[in-house]
Structure 1
Amino acid sequence: MLRDRILRDDMFRDTISKIKKVILIVVLIISVFLYVCRPFFHGFFMRCYTNPAFLLAFVALGAGIMIRLFSDRFKWTIVVGAIFFVALLVGSMFVAEGKRVEIYKDISSNIIEIDTFPESTSIRLMPYQIARNNMTNNLTLEQFRLGKLDFVILDGEMWWNAALIPDGTWIHYRMKPYGAMFINACETETEIIKIKQDLEVAEGIGISDNIYWRLYKDIDYWSDYSDPFYIPYDNNTKIMTVVSKIDYKLDSWTFVPLRKPVFGGVVLIDGEGNMKYVSPEKIDEEPILHGQQVFPEAIARLYGESFAYKRGVWNAWIAHKDQTELNDVPGEGNFMPYLIMVQDENGEPIPMWFMALEPYGTTYGLKKVLLVDAIDGTVYSWSKGENEQSVGAVKSIEHAKSTDTFRNVNWADFRLIEPIPIFKEGTMYWKLTMTRYTQTGITNIVLIEASNPENVIVFKDGAEFQQFLTEGATDTVKMSMDQLLHEIDVLLQKIKDLPSDAKSPILVELEEKLERLLSLLEES
């Protein structure tokens, strides 16, 4: 019996030894697979890299599994499980908050306070969805579709741009992008440029020629990258792809380790797939990047969100004293920060990321404006005076809808979208676009003065709006009033020309009221 027991123990040990060998082989195979295919798992590994507490949770989980497999110390499995749970809890709840606290500490000493707004220039008139719909409607290539839209600065003006990527599962792996499309965002009329060039490394293709696969393998795995935008060059015959790089700096908040995002430079990719990394210090030396918005939008938004934590997490969660928040307009697919163009001290156009900060809670007044230089990340801040009134982006739409001009508009058929700031002679306006629900054209352009929301100016087209920018509100309103008087006079004349027996009592009453209205308007 003793001999049988010894035999069974030997067989058990042999079995365990074989299992260990199998596990080691499996681990080795998995490790090789993960290394070769590491771009597939970039999101998971970056989560562990940027959130060390999250990494600790998975280390604890792995240790618990190993202890359970190779030891009978069950209590240690429970302890490791508890560590896993607590670490995951800390990682998910506190690191994101602590990151914003530390970001605010980093930027607070370098914020430049401004009393007046810089003058707007090259104002974007075509909203995101209208631009996308117009580009799609003008696309006649059956095997291609639009990639992600972004901005590029061409001759001081903003242009929406997108790659033309293969459309379909099979050709996603077999074909290269056709090129890119560009549409002028500073015009109300559709002005489109299409450039044909095969892009060897690009978005929207698989697998090893995908832009992110190559960036993770050839540039830096432990970084994130922005959405690409495209710069035409060589007389619009070639395309340069530009991607901003986001690095991470190790820091800690109280006892929690974390990594904060920092601007890590730019990667340039030509049509042949050649990549060139440009550090933040060397960007000015690249002519093709002159005046481009290379500072990452994601970091600019974190700057805006961090202002809610300037008094710490306790205030952000509980007390809410002097707290601001970044409120996106509900139903909009285009979120803050908005890219705008302003004039620098020399009158040259420069891109800025704009964010409107509103008081915490259900109030929607404008409390603070942040402008982040879209080239180098410098932060400018404007604060509303204590007794000043100023409406935010969300409420600007409601003020526009309540104006007399739109009292008869059926809002089931029309929308007011994308409140964009405009700075003119020190005054801030919200520019809204009125469009039908199909969002393929611009019906009207609406301006609302932020500090005086009763001042609503409606423009019928881009030309009238541009006249306001160059000549001021008085001439524009006068032009609109003259047009209104003319239209009333034409309508009144048509009614008068009708035979008397063809006029209903309602038409007779309308004729009298139109004559009275015309007289009052001419006197005013």
Structure 2
Amino acid sequence: MSAPPSDNTDDQANSETTTDWPPDGSDSRGGGLPWKIPLVGVVVVALVGWFVRPWLQGLVYALYTTPLFLVALVAGLVAGWMYYRYEQTDASTTYSVGDGEERELTPLRVAAVVFIVGLVALTPVVNTVAGATLSDRTMADTTAVERLDNADAEKPRIVTRAVAGRYASNTLNRPQYRVGETDISVANGTPYWAAPLSPDGLFNRLTKRQAGTVLVDMTTQQANVRVVDGELNKGIGTVFFESYRWHLLKNHEYLVDYGDPKMVVNDGAQYIVVPYSTPTFHLTPLPHSTPEWGGVAVIDSSGTVEMLSPEEAAQSPTLANQQLYPEDLARRKVASTKYRNGILNTYTSHEDEIEIAPVPGDDNDQPFFVLSESGPQYVVAVEPYGEAQGLREVWTIDGQTGAFEVYRPTESLFGPQKAADLVRQSAPQTDWNRFSPAEPILTVIDDREYWQVRIVPEDNSGIAYVAFVDARTSDVEEFEETEAIERFLAGETPTESPDQSGGGGEETPTVVVQRVGENGTVIETMEIYGNESVRIETNPNGSGSTTGTTANASTERVRAPL
């Protein structure tokens, strides 16, 4: 007996109209689409990121050298997982975002909050721990000395960095190029301010390469500038894919901290020299890293790169007398020694705490690179922490080997700020609204400390004169000629110096008085020596009253407007 037809039309319709979806064989196309799109996006992003990885190096290196980032990330993930487990108990948590609106607290939001708070809260602590570790390593590797090296009198540092840049720009006669950043380079034993001759303007950067190197002699007050011609395949200031840095990061060391590039000229060949540092990781008391000198990258004019270790760089004939140690690392290591008596002391009693002394001058700061009798070295003057401005220590770092030495004066010596003030006081006739002291560098002459201060116009158009300030007695000696500066550096006193005519021991006049006619012709010249004086009187029969003025030759000094 057959069953009666069913009145449930819905069931009948469903059984007749329902079909399988998606159709057979469509899983490989339609079903895979949702996960294929993100995968393709990830691959594209990865490929683009790999191509432009030189642009990302700063961020990548910062994350690489910050173990704290991983600590905070792990803490965030653990907090998110624990909150997820808590949610499984049917507990629900919401938080207000204002205007009565509420949002649900999710594991992802918990993880993000813990990560950000941990990163912000622990960063100052880890930085302090890293500074203390770097201080301990620096103090352990530093040798205390009882005297500083004498200055090399034949290679004085006279021209400041800002003035060198002005000299180079003023003499440039190539409209398609500009002078890049200057740095010190030694060529044939003479120190120069060296700068790349880079393309100027967007079109020229796209179509031209670095055309050469501009050298400004730093041992003379005159604008002695010369250009070494020759294109560099991988240069400075060019379009990014022709840049030395892009080339280094693409094909050589990536997870290192490259310093400022320096142009080096050796036997007519041009090189770009780039010192770099590498991180050293420490697990205790908190994960952190400290920088150490990793080596030097040398790029020749063809674009060939040679990665040298510190020992190899110091032995390279091409790099003789050059500054190979990263100057930023030198400054950072010296500054870190404020933690020498521990972190607690640095934030409480400040016993024996130091700080790098600030110095006047444009576009430059310590450390200063100089040539001494023992070779090239950085000089860093430090003063006590706080308002005190006396000279506490002088650090020297060998520019070739990176060896650290510290000199602690047994007598009270004043610092660079006081030296600049003494120069102003010694020349009240100078218009100090138009001139300023710059780059005071501690210079040793015959085992005696002087502050060598350059006086430059506000527009950095030249060197007015150079003053030497005795760091013990505060005596000031001023010289306007390069030859006189070299003689003083060699240990000759002003009274021992030969005069301009080449005489051996004749005394130099203190004041020269000239009688000049209306047409500017010098009628008569009178020289005043030693303690002699000059008396100037008006004609008693003239229109003016009789007056008399006496100038003591030993104290009166006349300086022509500069």
For 1:519 and 1:504, locate their aligned partners in 2 and report how far apart those are by CA, in whole Å.
29
**Stretch deviating more after TM superposition (429-438 or 459-468):** 459-468
Task: Write the distance in 2 (CA, Å) between the matches of 1:427 and 1:409.
Answer: 28
The alignment yields a C-alpha RMSD, in angstroms, of: 3.5
Q: Is there any run of 5+ residues in structure 1 with no aligned partner, and where?
A: 345-349
Deviations 1:241-277 (A, max 9, x none): 211122112124512x222211111111111111111
Deviation string 1:79-101 (CA, Å, 9 cap, x unpaired) is: 31233123322553133322221
- CA apart distance, 1:283: 2.2
What's the CA shift for 1:429? 0.7
The residue aligned with 2:550 is: 513
Asked if structure 2 preserves the Cα contact closer than 8 Å seen for 1:341 and 1:351, the reply is yes
Match of 1:138 in 2: 171
> Of 447, 462, 467, which aligns to 2:487?
467
Q: Of the candidates 50, 63, 67, which is equivalent to residue 52 of structure 1?
A: 67
CA deviation vs aligned residue, 1:362-408 (integer Å, no higher than 9, x gap): 111100010011111111111122xx2211112211121122xx112
Q: Corresponding residue for 1:274?
A: 304
- What CA distance in whole angstroms lies between the structure 2 residues aligned with 1:520 and 1:105? 52
Q: Is the 8 A contact 1:151 1:159 kept in 2?
A: yes
Contact 1:98/1:253 (CA < 8 Å) preserved in 2? no
Alpha-carbon contact 1:467-1:476 (below 8 Å) kept: no
Counterparts of 1:477-516 in structure 2 under 5 Å?
A: 482-487=508-513, 490=526, 501=541, 504-505=544-545, 509=547, 511-514=548-551
CA distance in 1, matches of 2:366, 2:554: 47
Q: Distance in 2 between matches of 1:178 and 1:451?
A: 48
**Greater Rg over alpha carbons, structure:** 2
Amino acid at match of 1:301: R
Distance verdict in 2 for CA 1:370–1:512, change over 3 Å: same
Deviations 1:455-502 (A, max 9, x none): 111112222222222352352689798432334884999996976555
The alignment-based identity, stated in percent, is 22
State the match for 2:559 in structure 1. Answer: none
Describe how 1:58-457 pairs up with structure 2 within 5 A. 74-90=105-121, 92-121=123-152, 122-234=155-267, 236=268, 238-255=269-286, 257-330=287-360, 332-344=362-374, 350-385=375-410, 388-403=411-426, 406-453=427-474, 455-457=475-477
**2: CA distance between counterparts of 1:272 and 1:47?**
31
Q: Matches of 2:38 and 2:441 in 1, distance apart?
A: 58
Deviation at 1:58, TM superposition (A): 6.4
Q: Could you tell me how far apart the structure 1 residues matched to 2:180 and 2:344 are?
A: 42
**Residues 419-474 of structure 1, C-alpha deviation per residue, up to 9 Å, x if partnerless?**
12211111111111112212111111111111222x11111222222222235235
Contact 2:535 2:549 in 1 (8 A): no
- Name the structure 2 match of 1:347: none
**Equivalent AA in structure 2 for residue 89 of structure 1:** V
- One-letter amino acid matched to 1:512: T
- Three-state SS of the structure 2 residue aligned to 1:513 is strand
Partners of 1:166 and 1:414 in 2: how far apart? 33
Instruction: Please state whether the residue corresponding to 2:490 is helix, strand or coil.
Output: helix
**Which AA in structure 1 matches 2:407?**
W
SS in 1 for 2:451: strand
Partner Cα separation in structure 1 for residue 488 and residue 202 of structure 2: 49
Q: Is the 8 A contact 1:176 1:198 kept in 2?
A: yes
Contact 2:150 2:446 in 1 (8 A): yes
| Contact 1:448-1:456 at 8 Å conserved across structures | yes
1-side partners of 2:394 and 2:543: how far apart?
57
Please identify, of 157-166 and 480-489, the stretch whose mean Cα deviation from structure 2 is larger. 480-489
**CA separation of 1:519 and 1:254: change in aligned 2, threshold 3 A:** closer
Q: Following the alignment from structure 1 to structure 2, what is the Cα–Cα distance between the partners of residues 156 and 90?
A: 51
What residue in structure 1 maps to residue 522 of structure 2? none
Does the aligned pair in 2 maintain the 1:123–1:422 contact within 8 Å? no
Q: Residues 115, 84 of structure 1: CA spacing in aligned structure 2 closer, same or farther, 3 A cutoff? A: same
Tell me which amino acid in the other structure corresponds to 1:434. Answer: I
Query: Take 2:303 and 2:349, find their aligned partners in 1: how far apart are those partners?
Result: 52
Give the counterpart of 2:54 among 18, 29, 39: 39
The CA distance in 1 between the partners of 2:351 and 2:30, in whole Å, is 64
Greater mean alpha carbon deviation, residues 358-367 or residues 93-102: 93-102
1:220-246 Cα deviation digits (max 9, x unpaired)? 110121222222233x3x312211122
Q: Count how many residue pairs are aligned between Structure 1 and Structure 2.
A: 494
Whichever residue aligns with residue 550 of structure 2, its letter is K
